[in-house]
Amino acid sequence: MNSVRPFAQADVPAVAGMFQRILRNVREPASPDLESYLADIFLGGSDGDITSSVYLREDGAVAGFMGVMPMTFLVRERLVRAAVCGTFMVDGYRSDPFAGARLMRAFLAGPQDISLSETANDISTIMWRKMNAAILLGHSLEWLCVFQPASFLTEMAASKAAVARILSPLARPADALLRHINPPAWRKTASPQRALPSADTDDETTADLFIRFTESFAARPHWQNHLHQMIAHARRKALYGSMVRRVVYARNGEPVGLFLYYGDRGRIGRAVQVLAGPGQTGAVIDSMLADADRRGLTALRGRTMPVLLEAMMGGPFLFLNASSSIVHARDPALAAPFLSGEAFFNGFAGESWSRLIGDRFG
C-alpha cells in the first residue's frame, strides 16, 4: 500500500536522484556533495517531530518528497513553531496523481503552528488552497530592473539557444549607444549620484543587521543560532554568480540597510534580501541598483515583500509571478500579520538562502 513516512538517511540517494531529474532537469547522477547537503538541510536541522517526508509506492520505492525546514517565529512577540515547505516533488505524478496531495496533507497535519512556502508552483498552490491556506500576494511577485536592454534580451535568449551567447558581444555597443541616447529607466527616478554609499560586510555584521532591521515586523523569525549557519550557506550560489553583500550607510555613517544579491558582469543578477530601517527602503533599493549597474549586470531581479513593493511602485520595475508565497495556520491570529503585510517572509525567512536554490553541486 502507498504510504507517507518521515524522511530518513537511507532515503537520501533516491531523493537526490529525484532532485536532479525533476527540479534540475539534468540526467547526471546525483553527486555525493548534493546527497550530503540534502541530509544536512533536511535531517541535520530537524526539530524532532517537525520532519520532511517521503512518499512510498507499494513496492517501497521512494516516489515523492516534501522538504521541511523548521523555524521559530515571533508573532506579535509570541514564540511559535513554523515549518517552511520546499523541494516538493513527485516522480511520475501522472501515474499516481494523489501522491502530492498525500504529502501535503501529512505536512499540514504536523505539529507546527504555522506552515509556509515561498516556492509554490501552480499545481501545489491549488493543493494549498484546497487545504485552506492563503496566498500572500505582496510576497508572491518577482521584480525586475533592466540596465542594458540589448544585453538583457541576449542573455534571456541564451538560456534557450546557444547561438545567442555568440551574439552577446554585439549587444554591448548597442547598449552603450542606447544609454547615451536615453539613460536607463532606473536612473530617471534614482540617480546613482544620489544613491547612499555602501560597503562590503562580513558574516557577523550581516547577522547583527538582520536582527536589527527585522525587529519592527509583527511576524519575523526568531533567529537564535541558526542565522549564522544560514549566512554561511548563502555565501555560494554558483549558478547565479558572485555574491555581493553590502551595508548601506547614511551620510552620517549610520547603517540604514543591507542588500544581498548574486551576479556577474553581462549576466542577470538575483537579489535574495533587501533590508532597511524605517523610511530608508527606497534609498537602499537605489543603492543596490547603482551597485549592480556599476558592476555591469544586464538586469537585477528579486522577490517582493509588501514593504519593498510599496517603495518600488512608480519606479523602473517590471513585476511577474513565478511562484507563490503561502501561509497556513490553524489559529487565524498567527496568519493575520502575514495577510496584512506585516510579516518578514521570503529570502532568509524562507528557503531562498539555501544552496538548493542557485548553487552547483560537484
Q: What is the pLDDT of residues 125-181, one digit of tens each?
A: 999 999 999 999 999 999 999 999 888 888 877 665 444 444 445 455 554 544 545
315 in the same domain as 223 = yes
In a domain, 98, yes or no: yes
Packing angle of the helix pair 203-214, 226-233 (nearest 10 deg):
120
Confidence (pTM)? 0.88
Is residue 126 domain-shared with residue 17, that is, in the same domain? Answer: yes
- Is there a domain that residue 345 lies in? no
72/114 Cα distance (integer angstroms)? 10
Q: Residue 307 and residue 349: Cα distance in Å, rounded?
A: 15
Whether residue 353 is contained in a domain is answered as no
Judge whether 35 and 52 are in contact, CB under 8 Å.
no
Backbone angles phi, psi at 255, to 5 degrees: -65, 130
In a domain, 177, yes or no: no
**189 and 316 share one domain:** yes
CATH for 236: 3.40.630.30
3-state secondary structure of 296: coil
Q: Which domain holds residue 26?
A: 3-139
pLDDT digits (tens, 9 = 90+) for 95-114: 788 899 999 999 999 999 99
208 and 101 inside one domain = no
Q: Does residue 264 sit within a domain?
A: yes
End-to-end CA distance of the chain: 36
* Domain end point (choices 139, 165, 193): 139
Retrieve residue 329's grid coordinates: 495556520
The count of domains in the chain is 2
pLDDT at position 34: 97
Q: Are residues 104 and 25 in the same domain?
A: yes
Q: Are residues 103 and 203 in the same domain?
A: no
Assign 185 a pLDDT band (cuts: 50, 70, 90).
Answer: low
Question: From CA 266, how far away is CA 283, in angstroms rounded?
Answer: 25
